[in-house]
């Protein structure tokens, strides 16, 4: 007789809203209000739906428990599932709602809790269940440093499908880190990551993301050499709008140009000078209206390999399409590429069609006058 598994679903409805508008997160009521004022829209529910659609045809093999309304019920129904609803919907949610819902699912002794959010959501779930329940994160936040997430909503769904298929004794799992950062410091360009705990999760190497790692001190010389090369590229095209993404490698370019930009935002350069700093999606699109010839400069996320979708959501699908695949400039220290151990760079723009269009090989600047050709694929 087949085992009928009981799965929990928690959606943080505001996760990721601050990304495209340049707020680097959505923690706190004040930040959420500002995100809404800037035109931010909820994204986490659609990512939860994408995950659940991967298992919708197998709905007879599991019972889904979901938070009421926007905390899971709505996503489940949009995916064609009929959940057992926990709690009641107030329309306004908080971290305490996530903690309370996760605790209730823990007490129900569910087989797995699936949650959609970012590091803050992972931290709330960890606070509630610790290592006592298997969990699986659907990446829907801005900054996703924790290792408890699948690499994309689709991969989360496929990992869930595998979990439903395998016998309990054959399931592979790992204990993964839950990280979070100080968002107020992050918005000021200071990255302070902290380990908050561990949770257990189903595991398939090709479907989960790694722990975000910073650039080692040994990368400093490589970064300076890369920056010198990028400096020449920028000087050669003074009329091009250069959109510089987040990261220590890209910040070295600004240092080389003697420009005071941001470490964790998107800055715009024209004629070698800072045109605008810490831009959101709308400001970038406005600049592209004025300066259609543009290039995006990015660096992969250390330890994870993401080019888009982690901490640089200001480069929205519309922005990337306007700039064009041929105008992506990728900078990376050799150590970042070596750390991937042959795994591809990853694309998670939030638009699966665009991710597929962006797949392929790219020439990556790894030092002054040195390039490496490397593959990128949809996460």
- Tell me: the pLDDT tens digits for 26-46? 666 777 777 777 877 889 999
Alpha-helix residue ranges (DSSP H) falling in the chain: 29-37, 44-53, 73-78, 95-107, 119-129, 153-165, 183-187, 220-236, 248-256, 281-290, 317-323, 334-339, 352-358
How far is residue 63's CA from residue 84's CA, in Å, rounded to a whole number? 8
How far is residue 287's CA from residue 99's CA, in Å, rounded to a whole number? 41
Indicate if the pLDDT at residue 212 is higher than 80: no
pLDDT value of position 184: 61
Residues 6+ apart with CB under 8 A from 112: 5, 7, 8, 133, 134, 135, 136, 160, 163, 202
pLDDT value of position 143: 76
How far is residue 26's CA from residue 196's CA, in Å, rounded to a whole number? 19
| pLDDT confidence tier of residue 23, bands split at 50, 70 and 90 | confident
Q: Choose between 1 and 309: higher pLDDT.
A: 309
How far is residue 233's CA from residue 212's CA, in Å, rounded to a whole number? 29
| pLDDT confidence tier of residue 328, bands split at 50, 70 and 90 | very high
Q: Which residue, among 283, 290, 351, has the nearest Cα to 317 in the 3D structure?
A: 351
pLDDT value of position 219: 67
Burial 114-135 (b: 16+ CB within 10 A, else e): bbbbbbbbbbbbbbbbeeebbb
pLDDT value of position 186: 59
Residues 6+ apart with CB under 8 A from 138: 44, 47, 48, 51, 114, 115, 116, 117, 149, 150, 153, 156
Hey, which residues does 5 pair with through a beta bridge?
62
- Tell me: the pLDDT tens digits for 33-86? 777 778 778 899 999 999 999 999 999 999 999 999 999 999 999 999 999 999
pLDDT value of position 117: 96
DSSP β-ladder status, 370-378 and 360-367: antiparallel
Q: Give the CA distances from residue 209 to residues 18, 194, 222, 303, in Å, rounded to whole numbers and listed in that order.
A: 22, 18, 25, 9
Lowest mean pLDDT of 213-227, 311-325, 353-367, name the range. 213-227
pLDDT value of position 26: 67
In a 3-state reduction of DSSP, which class is residue 227? Answer: helix
Q: Which residue has the tokens 């959606």?
A: 11
Per-residue tokens: 221: 């010389």
In a 3-state reduction of DSSP, which class is residue 199? Answer: strand
How far is residue 166's CA from residue 158's CA, in Å, rounded to a whole number? 12
Indicate if the pLDDT at residue 217 is higher than 60: no
| pLDDT confidence tier of residue 1, bands split at 50, 70 and 90 | very low
At the topology level, CATH places domain 5-207 in: Rossmann fold (3.40.50)
- Tell me: the pLDDT tens digits for 285-302? 999 999 999 999 999 998
- Tell me: the pLDDT tens digits for 147-199? 999 999 999 999 999 999 887 666 789 999 999 876 566 555 566 678 999 99
pLDDT value of position 166: 82
Query: Using the 8-state DSSP alphabet, how is residue 127 labeled?
Result: H
pTM of the entire predicted model: 0.88
Residues 6+ apart with CB under 8 A from 370: none
Q: How is the chain split into domains, by residue range?
A: 5-207, 217-378
Indicate if the pLDDT at residue 324 is higher than 80: yes
- For the beta carbon of residue 290, count every other beta carbon within 10 angstroms: 9
For every residue of 357-375, DSSP letters joined together read: HH-EEEEEEEETTEEEEEE
Average pLDDT value over all residues in the chain:
90
């Amino acid at each position: 007789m087949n085992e009928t598994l009981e799965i929990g679903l928690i959606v943080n409805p505001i996760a990721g809203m601050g990304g495209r508008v340049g707020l680097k997160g959505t923690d706190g009521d004040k930040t959420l209000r500002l995100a809404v004022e800037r035109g931010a829209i909820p994204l986490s529910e659609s990512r939860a739906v994408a995950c659940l659609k991967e298992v919708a045809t197998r709905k007879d093999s599991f019972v889904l428990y979901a938070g009421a309304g926007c905390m899971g019920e709505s996503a489940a129904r949009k995916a064609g599932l009929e959940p057992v609803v926990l709690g009641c919907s107030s329309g306004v949610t908080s971290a305490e709602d996530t903690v309370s819902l996760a605790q209730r699912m823990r007490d129900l002794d569910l087989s797995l809790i699936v949650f959609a959010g970012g590091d803050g959501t992972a931290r709330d779930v960890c606070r509630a269940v610790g290592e006592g329940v298997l969990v699986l994160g659907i990446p829907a936040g801005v900054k996703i440093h924790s290792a408890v997430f699948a690499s994309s909503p689709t991969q989360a769904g496929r990992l869930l499908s595998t979990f439903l298929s395998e016998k309990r004794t054959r399931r592979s799992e790992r204990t993964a880190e839950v990280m979070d950062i100080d968002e107020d410091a992050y918005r000021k360009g200071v990255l302070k990551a902290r380990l908050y705990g561990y949770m257990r999760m189903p595991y398939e190497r090709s479907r989960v993301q790694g722990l975000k790692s910073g650039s080692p001190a040994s990368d400093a010389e490589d970064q300076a050499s890369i920056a010198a090369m990028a400096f020449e590229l920028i000087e050669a095209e003074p009329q091009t709008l250069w959109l510089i993404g987040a990261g220590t490698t890209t910040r070295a370019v600004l240092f080389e140009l003697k420009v005071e930009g941001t470490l964790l935002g998107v800055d715009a350069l024209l004629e070698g000078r800072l045109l605008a700093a810490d831009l959101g999606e709308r400001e970038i699109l406005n600049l592209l209206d004025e300066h259609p010839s543009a290039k995006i400069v990015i660096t992969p996320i250390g330890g994870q390999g993401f080019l888009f979708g982690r901490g640089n959501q200001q480069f929205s699908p519309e922005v990337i399409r306007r700039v064009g695949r041929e105008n992506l400039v990728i900078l990376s220290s050799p150590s970042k590429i070596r750390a991937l151990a042959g795994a591809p760079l990853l694309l998670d723009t939030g638009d699966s069609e665009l991710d597929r269009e962006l797949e392929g090989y790219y020439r990556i600047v790894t030092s002054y006058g040195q390039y490496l050709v490397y593959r990128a694929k949809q996460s």
